Amino acid sequence: MTKYIFVTGGVTSSLGKGIIAASLAKLLQARGYRTTIQKFDPYINVDPGTLNPYEHGECYVTEDGAETDLDLGHYERYLNTFTSQANNVTTGRIYQYVINKEREGAYLGKTVQVIPHITDEIKRRMTLLGQDGQYDIVITELGGTVGDIESLPYIEAVRQLKWEMGDSCIVVHLTLIPYLKAAKELKTKPTQHSVKMMSENGLTPDVLVCRTEEPLYQELRRKIALFCNVTPEAVIEALDADTIYSVPLEMMREKLDLICLQKLGLAKGTEPELGKWKDFLNKLRYPKSKVTIGLIGKYVELQDAYKSILEGLIHAGAMNECKVEVRNIHSEHLTLENAVEKLNNVDAILVAPGFGSRGIEGKIEAIRYAREKNIPFFGICLGMQMACVEFARNVLHMDKAHSTEMNPDTNQGVIAMMEEQKKITQMGGTMRLGSYDCELRSDSKTAAIYGSTHISERHRHRYEFNNDFINDYENAGMIPVGKNPKTGLVEVVEIPTHPFFVGVQFHPEYKSTVENPHPLFVAFVKAAKENHERKNNPSHVFEKSVAE
Ligand code: GLN
């Protein structure tokens, strides 16, 4: 029978509930339990796909094309397994389902209410992934903070489930123990209040994970246990960590996994080995070299807007035993005049995905700089599209070239919406989402990087490379080396005469994990490293390449 762990948050947001949930899942997985994680978000949007990155950071896309909360990215990066549409549910989706049912007459004239109709639907979704025997443990992260009005139906649903399931269901509450500098003391009162607020709604936590800047001493742990109705060994210290990737090991040291298993009545399983994970962490902590990568985007000031790209670079850096320093370069502030000043000391350039015209000319300038100066370039989605626009304008001399997203009237729409896509748009599904196959030319750099000519990657876009211009590109040296085998749509472009110039229509960042860093990110960081060495020691690299 599947067991359920609910992770709730108290006192304040941004305590790292997603990382704690993912770390716990990692440990349970390492102990041999088939574990998955899902997230329930209390907002009314049906999914985060329409949310602006200022609101909610990156929109993460799953294999099956669900636009989800960025925490699902952490789940996949930690667990090295895929999530799906079922792993992210919002209040909007719950209400939409219940209201549709009501319109169909499914409630037989009854009054439709938060309790039981909304809570029943929440409970149905909370237990959905546990239905077919695929998982031993389902961890559910509840978005928001205990005490929020919007979270109440979720807390109520968990209360009912706990009542129905008994020991098969536990609650881990993440809370904050602030350190007051003036008093030189850790304070437990906010945690007591947050647990009290939960218990007013009929729910008591089984385990408390306490975020803290200072270690929790024994006396304090006993005090927290006493006031919050948990056993002292169920008070877990979560000290601020140097990297999110050390949290699973910290949680193992604190025995978070063991206490959860004990409370669920499950055996300890095998001792977690986490060899690959520790190896990764060692390489991350003790790099042998350093590169600087310029990240060009219009949301670079937001730390969560390009989350998966930043994590992909961290994974790839560790693989290369190289520290990747990301220099954020705002595309709106980049011009022909200041490109040299802003870009001359980066070792490689990554142009980010995005929508709309803001900052677009800055992206094009950065690409021109990378192409002309032989700087390793990696363009993702909009970054790839703009690489095609830049090439058309500056090499193919098509001065009106653009994407029809930015300039619908141009007759040089090298990036455009395809007829097929327009039909789908009229039906309401506006984006190409989720996983699609791609066939690579066997002589391409990308095929060598993947070690395969058949790949499949995730998508999130409306516009495509316009195949009317394909011969012009090929003849001038930008080669569409990857295509969708069914539709012929271009997925990857390369400039073979450039040290590293790769543009991809898909989003490789969604598939980079700690245990499987994405090959394109690994190759890109390697190219940055080689460029760095070439700049700093040209004769050495020359000798090396002659020797090779
Ligand atoms: N705006 C572009 C499109 O819709 C690119 C999207 C993206 O970068 N994710 O095709």
pLDDT, one tens digit per residue, over 364-402 is 999 999 999 999 999 999 999 999 999 999 999 999 999
Nearest C-alpha to atom 6 of ligand 1 is from which residue?
Answer: 461
Taking the CA of residue 405 as reference, the ligand 1 atom at the shortest distance is: 1
- pLDDT tens digit sequence for 83-106: 999 999 999 999 999 999 999 999
pLDDT reported for residue 320: 97
The lowest-confidence range among 295-304, 305-314, 425-434, 456-465 is 425-434
- pLDDT tens digit sequence for 167-201: 999 999 999 999 999 999 999 999 999 999 999 99
H or E stretch covering 156: helix 152-165
Give residue 92 CA to ligand 1 midpoint distance, Å. Answer: 25
57 pocket-lining for ligand 1 (C-beta < 6 Å): no
Taking the CA of residue 460 as reference, the ligand 1 atom at the shortest distance is: 9
Mean pLDDT, range 440-446, rounded to an integer: 97
pLDDT reported for residue 429: 57
The lowest-confidence range among 88-92, 120-124, 336-340, 387-391 is 336-340
pLDDT reported for residue 424: 60
Q: Would you call 10 helix, strand, or coil by DSSP? A: coil
- Mean pLDDT, the chain, whole residue set: 94
pLDDT reported for residue 55: 82
The lowest-confidence range among 324-338, 408-422, 503-517 is 408-422
- pLDDT tier, 539 (very low <50, low <70, confident <90, very high otherwise): low
Active site residues: 381, 507, 509
Q: Is the pLDDT of residue 547 over 50?
A: no
One-letter amino acid identity for 254?
E
Pocket residue to mutate for ligand 1, from 463, 465, 504, 509, most atoms within 8 A of Cβ: 463
pLDDT reported for residue 548: 42
Q: Is the pLDDT of residue 291 over 80?
A: yes
463 pocket-lining for ligand 1 (C-beta < 6 Å): yes
Task: Scan for tokens 């990378």, then name that residue.
Answer: 370
Taking the CA of residue 464 as reference, the ligand 1 atom at the shortest distance is: 10
Give residue 384 CA to ligand 1 midpoint distance, Å. Answer: 9
Rounded Cα distance between 140 and 40, Å, is 7
- Rounded to 5 degrees, φ, ψ at 274 are 50, 35
Exposed / middle / buried, residue 146 (Cβ in 10 Å: 0-12, 13-18, 19+):
buried
Mean pLDDT, range 472-485, rounded to an integer: 97
Taking the CA of residue 356 as reference, the ligand 1 atom at the shortest distance is: 1
- pLDDT tier, 17 (very low <50, low <70, confident <90, very high otherwise): very high
Mean pLDDT, range 31-49, rounded to an integer: 94
297 pocket-lining for ligand 1 (C-beta < 6 Å): no
Peptide linkage before 538 cis (omega within 30 of 0): no
Q: Is the pLDDT of residue 143 over 80?
A: yes
Mean pLDDT, range 474-502, rounded to an integer: 97
Taking the CA of residue 352 as reference, the ligand 1 atom at the shortest distance is: 8
pLDDT reported for residue 164: 96
Give residue 206 CA to ligand 1 midpoint distance, Å. Answer: 44
Nearest C-alpha to atom 3 of ligand 1 is from which residue?
Answer: 461
User: Nearest Cα to 331, choosing from 311, 305, 313?
Assistant: 305
pLDDT reported for residue 156: 97
33 pocket-lining for ligand 1 (C-beta < 6 Å): no
Give residue 423 CA to ligand 1 midpoint distance, Å. Answer: 18
CA torsion 126-129-135-141 (nearest 10°) is -40
- pLDDT tens digit sequence for 52-95: 888 888 999 999 999 999 999 999 999 999 999 999 999 999 99
Q: Would you call 456 helix, strand, or coil by DSSP? A: strand
Q: Is the pLDDT of residue 349 over 80?
A: yes
Count of other CB atoms within 10 angstroms of residue 516: 12
Q: Is the pLDDT of residue 234 over 70?
A: yes
Mean pLDDT, range 486-503, rounded to an integer: 97
- pLDDT tier, 496 (very low <50, low <70, confident <90, very high otherwise): very high
Rounded Cα distance between 538 and 541, Å, is 5
pLDDT reported for residue 404: 95
462 pocket-lining for ligand 1 (C-beta < 6 Å): yes
- pLDDT tens digit sequence for 238-286: 999 999 999 999 999 999 999 999 999 999 999 998 999 999 999 999 9
CB burial of 242-273 (b: ≥16 within 10 Å; e: otherwise) equals: eebbbbbbbbbebebbebbbbbbebeebeebe
Degrees to nearest 5, angle at CA 409 with 405 and 412:
85
pLDDT reported for residue 20: 97
67 pocket-lining for ligand 1 (C-beta < 6 Å): no
pLDDT reported for residue 276: 94
354 pocket-lining for ligand 1 (C-beta < 6 Å): yes
Give residue 31 CA to ligand 1 midpoint distance, Å. Answer: 40
